[in-house]
Amino acid sequence: MRYVSTRGQAPELTFEEAMLTGLARDGGLYVPETIPSFSVDDIAAMANLPYEEIAYRVMRPFVGDSFDDATFRAIIDRAYAGFKHDARAPLVQLNEGHFLMELFHGPTLAFKDFAMQLIGQLFQEALSRRGDRVTIVGATSGDTGSAAIEAFKGLDAVDVFILFPDGRVSEVQRRQMTTPSESNVRALALDGDFDDCQARLKDMFNDFEFRDGVKLAGVNSINWARVLAQVVYYFTAATALGTPHRKISFTVPTGNFGDIFAGYIARCMGLPIEQLVVATNQNDILHRCLTGQGYYKGETHPSISPSMDIQVSSNFERALYFAYDQDSAAVSHLMEELKTGGGFEVSQGALQALQEIYASGRVSEEETLAQIAATRAATGEIICPHTAIGVKVAEDHRTPGTPMVTLATAHPAKFPAAVEQATGVHPPLPPAMSNLYERPERVTRIANDLQTIETHIIEQIGT
Ligand SMILES: *Cc1c(COP(=O)(O)O)cnc(C)c1O
C-alpha cells in the first residue's frame, strides 16, 4: 500500500512513513493510492464481532508491510484497553430511526481518543524499532491536544508540544492538557485563535531546517493514521444496524473534516452509506461550500461548540482531491488561491461530485442550546453542544426506512457551561476524572510568532 500527496510533488510513502511524517513536504496531505474494498459477505461477517476485531479487518489492508499481523493486533488491543465501555463506540437510540454513536468513552472524553490512542501505540512501536526519537507538535481547538497528551505522555521516544488558543478552550479541555505531570508533554497557550495555531503548525512543517532539526512529526487530524482509525466505527455502527442488508446514513459534527472524511473512506470500501451529512456551527465555511457558495475564509466566531470553530478545514483538501478525480495539479492551484486570495470557487463538476457524497446543515447558537434541551426532554439523554448540532442537522435530513446515526463526539461534562445553560443541569465528570479541578496546571503562554515558538521548542528539547 503506497500513499501519495494531494499536491502530487512529494515522495510516495509507506503507511509507517506517512504516519510519522504527517503533512507532506509539498504542503499536501497523504492519501492511499487506491482504496481497498470489501465484498457484501465481508461486511456481513463483521456483525456482532468485538470492536477490536472489526478494527483489525478494516485497517489491515491500509497498513501494508509496516506492521505484521500479530503486532498490529496487539497495538489495537492496547489502544482501546483504556476505554470505559466494552463496546468502545456504543449506540443509543433517540427515536424510531435515529441513533447516537457515543464516541466519548476514551480517556479524554471525546472521539479524538479513538485515533490518538492508536497512533500513540503505532508511534511507540515504529520508533522503538527504528531506535529513533521525534518531536510531535500539534494544534488543537481543545480535544485533539488533550487526546494527544494523554496518548503520548511518558513515552520516551517522543516530545510533545500542543498549541491551543489561549482562553478559547473549555476549562475541562485546558486542564486535561495542563495537568499531566509527565515531562515529555507540554501545553502552549498561543495568543491567537485556532486558525492561528493551525497556521503556525503548518509554517513549522514548511520550515525544513526546523522540521528536520527537531525531527518534527504531526498528529493533527491531517495525519492519515488518524483518519484511518476513525473509519472503523462507521463499520461497527452500520453492521450493528443491519448493514449490508439495508442502507445507513451518518451525520457528523464537523470542523476539520477528519471524522466525516473517514465516513467517505468507509463508503468507498463498500459500506452502503446513503447520506453523509456535514453538520457545522456558525463557522460554516463547509456548509457554504457544499451549497455552492465557494470556499472563502471568514472570521472565526467563538461558539459554544469550540471544537468546530474553524474557517479553514484541513482535511477538506482530501475531499477536493477525490472530487477533482485525483488531479493534484488542480488541488495545488486551489490551495494557492486559498493562501493568496482567501478562497476559491469549486468547479461545477467537482461540486456535483461533492454533493453526491455530502449533504450539509448549519446550526446557530440558539438552535444548539434548544436541541440540547429538546433531546433531554424527549429522551433523558444529555448531549454536548457538538453532538446537539449533529442531532439537529440529522433530524432535518433523515429519511424513512434508513437508520440515521449521529456521531456523539464528546461527553457533555467536557462542555458543562453550555449544557447547564440549556438544561439547568451541571453534567458531572466521570469518576476517573473527578479530581481534575484539584490537579496543578503547567502551561507556557506564547506569542503568535513562528520564530518565538520554534526557539522555545528547541530550548525545551535541548537540541
Ligand atoms: C474535533 C471535534 C469535532 C470536529 O471533528 P473534525 O474531525 O475536525 O471534523 C467535533 N466535535 C468534537 C467534540 C471534537 O472534538
Predicted pLDDT at 21: 87
- The CATH number for 91-106+224-423, chosen from 3.40.50.1100, 3.40.630.30, 3.30.365.10, 3.40.50.1820, is 3.40.50.1100
Count CB-CB contacts under 10 A for residue 39. Answer: 10
In which band, very low, low, confident or very high, does the pLDDT at 371 lie, cut at 50, 70 and 90? very high
Give 143's pLDDT tier (boundaries 50, 70, 90).
confident
Note the pLDDT tens digit of each residue in 61-107: 999 999 999 999 999 999 999 999 999 999 999 999 999 999 999 99
Residue 222 above 70 pLDDT? Answer: yes
- Using a 10 angstrom Cβ sphere, with 0-12 exposed, 13-18 middle and 19 or more buried, the burial of residue 77 is middle
User: Ligand 1, closest atom to CA 230?
Assistant: 7
Grid cell, residue 279, equals 453538520
Q: What are phi and psi of 9, to 5 degrees?
A: -115, 10
What is the residue-averaged pLDDT of the chain?
95
Q: What's the pLDDT at 317?
A: 98
Ligand 1, pocket-test mutation among 143, 177, 363, 372, most atoms within 8 A of CB:
143
Residue range 403-422: mean pLDDT, rounded:
96
Closest CA to 350 of 296, 397, 283, 292: 292
Over pLDDT 90: what percentage of the chain? 89
Residues pairing with 13 in the sheet: 3
Q: Pick the most confident of 207-221, 295-309, 322-336.
A: 322-336
Q: Is 109 in the pocket of ligand 1 (CB under 6 A)?
A: no
Helix axes 328-341, 316-323, angle to 10 degrees: 140
Rounded distance between C-alpha atoms, residue 280 and residue 416, angstroms: 20
Whether 147 lines ligand 1, by a CB cut-off of 6 Å, is no
Q: Of 21-25, 111-115, 125-129, 189-193, which range is least confident?
A: 21-25
112 part of the active site = yes
Taking CA atoms only, the protein residue closest to ligand 1 atom 2 is 307
Burial class for 34, CB neighbours closer than 10 Å (0-12, 13-18, 19+): exposed
Q: Which amino acid is at 141?
A: S
What residues have CB less than 8 Å from 257, skipping those under 6 apart? 221, 278, 286, 313, 314, 315, 316, 318, 319
- Answer yes or no: is the C-beta of 251 below 6 A from any ligand 1 atom: no
Angle between helices 143-152 and 112-130 (to 10 degrees): 40
Ligand 1 atom with minimal separation from the 143 CA: 15
Residue 404 has pLDDT above 90, yes or no: yes
Domain range annotation of the chain? 91-106+224-423
Q: Is 110 close to ligand 1, i.e. is its CB under 6 Å away?
A: yes
Does the pTM surpass 0.85? The reply is yes
pLDDT at 358 over 70: yes
Pairing of strands 134-139, 158-165: parallel
Cβ(71)–Cβ(125) under 8 Å? yes
pLDDT band at residue 321 under the 50/70/90 scheme: very high
Strand order in 134-139's β-sheet? 216-217, 134-139, 158-165, 185-190, 444-446
Q: What is the pLDDT of residue 463?
A: 58
As a whole number of angstroms, the distance between CA 113 and CA 432 comes to 15
Tell whether the model's pLDDT for residue 378 goes beyond 70: yes
Q: CB atoms < 10 A from the CB of 146, how many? A: 31
Query: Helix or strand or coil: residue 136?
Result: strand
Cα 357 to ligand 1 centroid, rounded to whole Å: 19
pLDDT of residue 79: 96
